[in-house]
Amino acid sequence: METDTLRLFVLAADKLNISAAGRELGLAPSVASAWMSKLEKSVGADLLHRSTRKVALSTEGLEFLPYARDIVAREDAARAALGQGAARVSGTLRFTAPSTFAQLYIAPILPDFTKDHPDLRLDMRLSDKQFDLIDGSFDLALRNAVLEDSSLRGRKLADDTRVLCASPGYLAEHGHPQTPDDLQNHHLVAFGNYMPHRMTKDDGTHADFDPRIGRCNLIMDDGHSHKVATMAGAGIAPNSLWSVHQELAAGQLVRVLPDYTCVADTALWLIYPQTNVLSAKVRVFMDFLIERIGKNPTWSDY
């Protein structure tokens, strides 16, 4: 099994086009097709389904792709260590991130990244749904969660501080809670899993924000919609500070129980599969995000 044929397969899987993948490697379409057939014969499985109109990954191809990416990345890393790597980063980087965070912080700075790395293609899946990195063949993901999966590695981008807030209109109508116990008399907005949030004061006092004890008739799994509903007066909701700091500063939202902060082990992590060598394309994008976002988060001083 030759690395060049694996490189062709990885490119073909990204482009869903064997001829286009071959052209990127300087191969004629007939040669690229022959190389793919040779690889499939070597592994004993059809990795790509071909028709006159399209190419698609087979089940075996989906399973084989992460290992092929890993081998190609290892070769690139070895060549780079010997000074033989390409001066410009190229290829396709598959990246997934929560849509709300991406809209606020990642999308606005992408032109700067693509200008610096014109040969690198970003294939992005932006959703509050968490995709499986291995099954989805992702190179990198941003997660605002606890890093628990032992098959993943990561670098911390920033803290994920969470606070309770509500709209001025809601508080004018329903009053400001003075203690955590007052929350049971309010409309509460829950996010996704309906789980309670532990809260703490500077003096060490603990309390809970528990949607199950209040009038919680709104549960949402989309971060932006969650914030919009809160701003419209739906109730009191926990929100990440990175999501709401501008609205708090503008008076569109108000901190509720401002002496309390939600206790969480979560943070904003850039994670990648443990089986992968940290390839040049992953490294440059991680460094870019940490430099532009993580080094001095705009919400950290609020």
130-152 tens-digit pLDDT: 777 766 778 899 987 666 655 56
Residue 200 has pLDDT above 70, yes or no: yes
Q: How many domains does the chain have?
A: 3
Domain end call among 61, 81, 101: 81
Domain of residue 244, residue span: 162-263
Residues 171 and 25 in one domain: no
CA 114 to CA 287: how far, in whole Å?
A: 14
pLDDT tens by residue, 149-189: 555 678 889 888 888 999 999 999 999 999 888 888 899 88
Please report, rounded to a whole number, the percentage of residues in the chain having pLDDT higher than 70.
Answer: 88
Q: Are strands 187-191 and 152-159 parallel, antiparallel or unpaired?
A: unpaired
Residue 192 tokens read as 């996704």
pLDDT tens by residue, 205-240: 888 777 777 678 788 888 888 899 999 999 999 888
Whole-prediction pTM? 0.69
Instruction: Examine residue 208 and state whether it is found in any structural domain, yes or no.
Output: yes
Instruction: Examine residue 17 and state whether it is found in any structural domain, yes or no.
Output: yes
Residues 256 and 171 in one domain: yes
Residue 86 has pLDDT above 60, yes or no: no
Q: What is the CATH number of the domain that holds 146?
A: 3.40.190.10
Q: What is the CATH number of the domain that holds 68?
A: 1.10.10.10
Instruction: Examine residue 302 and state whether it is found in any structural domain, yes or no.
Output: no
CA 261 to CA 203: how far, in whole Å?
A: 12
Residues 153 and 270 in one domain: yes
Residues 167 and 100 in one domain: no
Residue 19 has pLDDT above 60, yes or no: yes
DSSP letter assigned to residue 212: T
Residue 73 tokens read as 């990345």
Residues 278 and 242 in one domain: no
